[in-house]
Structure 1
Amino acid sequence: MRQAPAAPRDRYAGLADRRLAAILAAEDTAEEYGLSPHTRSTCYVHRCWVHECVGDPLHVLVVTGHRWCRGCERPVEVAVDVTPPGAVHVFCPGCGQAGSAANREVRQACRTSLAAMHGGAAPALYRLPEA
C-alpha cells in the first residue's frame, strides 16, 4: 500500500514579509512546471527579492552569461534604484557593455522584482487566470 506524500513544509514560514513568502513559494512551484529560474522575481537561496541580492557573486553564471561579460571575461555590475519607479542598470566595469540576452533577463527579473516588492501585480508567468 502506497503512503500519501508528506505535506510540503513551508520553507518561508519565518519570513515577516508574507507577500514575499507567497511569491517565493509560487515561483518555486512554477519552476517545477517550467518557469526559467532566470526569470524569477525572488531568490530562493537568499529568501529575498532578486533585486536585493543580484549583486552577490553567487548570481554570476559564467556558463549562461548571466551577470557576465564574455568580451572582458568578468562579472558585470547591476545598479538598482529601489525608489519607485526604480531603474535597473546592468553594465560591465571594463567595457561598459552588458547587452547579452542573459543580462537582459537579469535586468527584467530585477524590474519585475521591484514592481512586486512595491505591490505590483504578480508576474503573469504564474498568475492564475481570473474566473
Structure 2
Amino acid sequence: MERRARSRRHLRVVSSADPDDTASVSSASVRYGDLADRRLASILAAEDTAERYGLTQYARSTCAVHRCWLHQCIAEPVHVSAATGHRWCPECECPVEVDIDEAGMGSVRLHCSRCGLLPDTTANREVLLACRTSLSAMHAGRRAALYEVPDE
C-alpha cells in the first residue's frame, strides 16, 4: 500500500528581519492602535497575520470587519453565508439566529427562526466553536481579577 504525502499549509514564525512581515505588523498596529482593549487589538493583529499565512477566517475569535470579539457581532447580517453554510439553515434556506449569554455561563445557541431547530452542519458548528472561543478569550483577561486578594 502506497502512502502519499499530503501537503499542509503551516503557519510560520514571522521574523522582524523580513521587511514584508514588519510592514504587515506595523499596518496592524495602525489599524487597531485606537482600540482601548489592547488584548483585543493584539489578538486582532495576530489573527490578521495568521490569516495571511493560512488560518481560515472561520477559525478566528475576533472580527476584523467590526474590530471586536466575534461573539459580539456574529448576529450581524455580514456574518451569514449561504454559500458556505455559516449561520444558515439548509432546510429553510434562511439565516440562523444567534443567542449569546455573555453574563451568565457564556452559552452560545444557534436556531432557525422558521423551523426552530439548530441546523447541525459543520459550518454552524464552526460558528459555535468560534463564538465560544471568543467568549473565553474575552473573559481570560478578567479571570485573574476574580481571585485577587484585596489590600487590608
Scaled to the shorter chain, the TM-score interval is 0.7 to 0.9
CA shift for structure 1 position 35 = 0.9
CA shift for structure 1 position 119 = 1.2
Q: 2:92 aligns with which of 53, 57, 72?
A: 72
CA shift for structure 1 position 97 = 2.6
Q: Mark the runs of 5 or more structure 1 residues left unpaired by the alignment.
A: 121-131
TM-score, normalising length: structure 1: 0.84
Aligned residue pairs: how many? Answer: 117
CA shift for structure 1 position 84 = 4.9
Give the letter for the 2:139 counterpart: H
Identity of matched residues, %:
58
Q: Does 1:105 align with 2:97?
A: no
- After superposition, give the CA deviation of every residue in 1:3-23 in whole Å (9 maximum; x if it has no partner): x55733221001000000000
Q: Mark the runs of 5 or more structure 2 residues left unpaired by the alignment.
A: 1-18, 142-152
Tell me the C-alpha RMSD between the 2 structures: 1.4
The residue aligned with 1:119 is 140
- Quick check: which has more Rg, 1 or 2? 2
Give matches, 1:4-43, under 5 Å: 5=20, 7=23, 8-9=26-27, 10=29, 11-43=31-63
Q: Which has the higher contact order (CA 8 A, sep 6+)?
A: 1
TM-score, normalising length: structure 2: 0.73
Which one has a larger percent helix, Structure 1 or Structure 2? 2
